[in-house]
Amino acid sequence: MVVFALMIAMLLAMLDNMIVGTAMPTIVGELGGLEHLSWVVTAYTLATAASTPIWGKLGDMYGRKGVFLTSIVIFLLGSALSGMAQDMGQLIGFRALQGLGAGGLMVGVMAIIGDLVPPRERGKYQGMMAGVMAIAMIGGPLVGGTLTDHLGWRWSFYINLPLGAVALIMVTAVLHLPKKRSRARIDYVGSALLTLGITALVLITTWGGTEYDWLSTQIIGLGVFGVLALAAFVVVERKVAEPVLPLHIFRNGNFSLVTVIGFLVGFVMFGSMTFLPLFQQTVQGASATNSGLLLLPMLLAMMAVSLFAGRVTTQTGKYKVFVVVGGGLITAGLSVLSLMDTDTSRFTSGVYMAVLGAGMGFLMQTTMLIAQNSVELKDMGVGSSSATLFRTIGGSFGVAILGAIFTNQVQSTMVARLGKAAGEKMTAGGAQMDPKRLPELPPVVKDAYAHAVANGTHQVFLWGALVSIIGFAVAWFLKEVPLRGGPTAKPAADPQGGSTEAERVPTTV
């Protein structure tokens, strides 16, 4: 019952952006403010990323249950207010409040499972977690479109209320964890500096190449500001009694390595998956709904492999092999996806996506498992939040950098096929054109744009494969540290009928 309630909470956090993304054109049509459209997503992302480590630390200091329930309430309050927004400014502000709560949902789920289930047994639940991700990615656009068409865009936010109420009631009733009360003061200075540093990084990836050029004064200034804020954060964390992000957890080799792997997984996964639906709609002619269903081979492979890896980890205690194999499969999957062109069939692209999904299935939950096993129980919250944060930041960088590569390739291909004047005119508003407009274009232009998108996705997957090689190499340096909660050695009888003291010592700690 507890795990079911936690899965609902995780679904809330992951489903929201998928549903809202589908409703955005309708929202803009009613509220106006097209120039502020990107901030509806950015405000949510910023608040989620910046609050993630703080929620983790608060759970370590004051107990998981109360902090987790607080995050659910904030998320539901932000959802209700977003649904009642009367203009774009209100919606952006309420989305930030909603994102603040969402930051605590993901971390709370991971940390509570970390408290309740020993790492050795946690593999049993990996398939459920992967299943929640698949439901969110496939069901989000379908639910968002249905709600917007039949009940109005406001229900894209109101749908969170009944789901959140169920999670809130179930967690309150069935989750029993020891209460904590830390006498240490909250690290306000460290929290503020970390928030400023994360905000600068997210804004760089959001604005770079779109609102401002990558070498513009604004982007360079944000980079300098972010580096200074994070440098000051490190100085502060070395001195405070209860740091918001204890630096000592990074002294553990496995934790540092798996953090790097998580960053790279986020980079290639979110970066590449952003452009798969565009390829399917533009080049393969799929509808917006069908493009979500065409991701099924990847998501089903991810679920099946995650479930398999979890069960084997529970039975054997072995996990390094899955990280290594997962890194290799992700590299292979991105490599074959880079071979797609305008003649690639849906079946072939489905097989390629299944390879990528299998790689993600080996890595998604296993990296979190290693991160949690590498920290002490008192640091479970910050360990979980750090792993989540680095994956989120990696995803932001992946979408921004690979998006810049995609845009540049599409624009250069359009110019090469249509000439400088016509090519630049077609891509003047950005490289991504509404697929619904394609039938209206002349055949020559439509063919040129299909080839341009195919070339763009080729570059995205090729560069993603090159980046994933780094993660594959890093995985080999992980150490197979025994998972907590494993079986203990059975004491063997000594000649006098007892057992030696050494044999009574558990094989794992």
| Each residue's pLDDT tens digit, 229-240 | 999 999 988 888
Q: 381, 243 in Cβ contact below 8 A?
A: no
pLDDT at 384 over 90: no
Phi, then psi, of 245 in degrees rounded to 5: -135, 90
Report pLDDT for 489: 40
Report pLDDT for 15: 77
Q: In whole angstroms, give the CA distance from residue 469 to residue 380.
A: 29
* Amino acid found at 3: V
Q: Under DSSP, is residue 476 helix (H, G, I), strand (E, B) or coil?
A: coil
Q: 342, 450 in Cβ contact below 8 A?
A: yes
Query: Nearest 5 degrees, angle CA 494-CA 498-CA 501?
Result: 85
> Quick one: average pLDDT of 316-329?
90
Q: Which residue has the higher pLDDT, 358 or 176?
A: 358
Q: Under DSSP, is residue 209 helix (H, G, I), strand (E, B) or coil?
A: coil
Round the average pLDDT of the chain to a whole number and report it. Answer: 80
pLDDT at 243 over 90: no
pLDDT at 150 over 60: yes
Q: How confident is the model at residue 251 (pLDDT cuts 50, 70, 90)?
A: confident
Which segment, 39-48, 434-443, 475-484, is predicted with the most confidence on average?
475-484
Lowest-confidence region among 209-223, 354-368, 484-498: 484-498
Report pLDDT for 287: 67
Q: Under DSSP, is residue 32 helix (H, G, I), strand (E, B) or coil?
A: coil
Report pLDDT for 429: 53
Report pLDDT for 505: 33
Q: Which residue has the higher pLDDT, 361 or 32?
A: 361
pLDDT at 101 over 60: yes
Report pLDDT for 132: 77
How far apart, in Å, are the Cα atoms of 94 and each of 39, 75, 81, 86, 348? 11, 10, 6, 11, 43
Q: How confident is the model at residue 290 (pLDDT cuts 50, 70, 90)?
A: low
Lowest-confidence region among 22-36, 231-245, 282-296, 470-484: 22-36
> Quick one: average pLDDT of 386-403?
82
Q: Under DSSP, is residue 87 helix (H, G, I), strand (E, B) or coil?
A: coil
Q: Kindly report the length of the chain.
A: 509
Residue that is written with structure tokens 């998972």 in the block? 483
Report pLDDT for 344: 85
> Quick one: average pLDDT of 21-46?
70
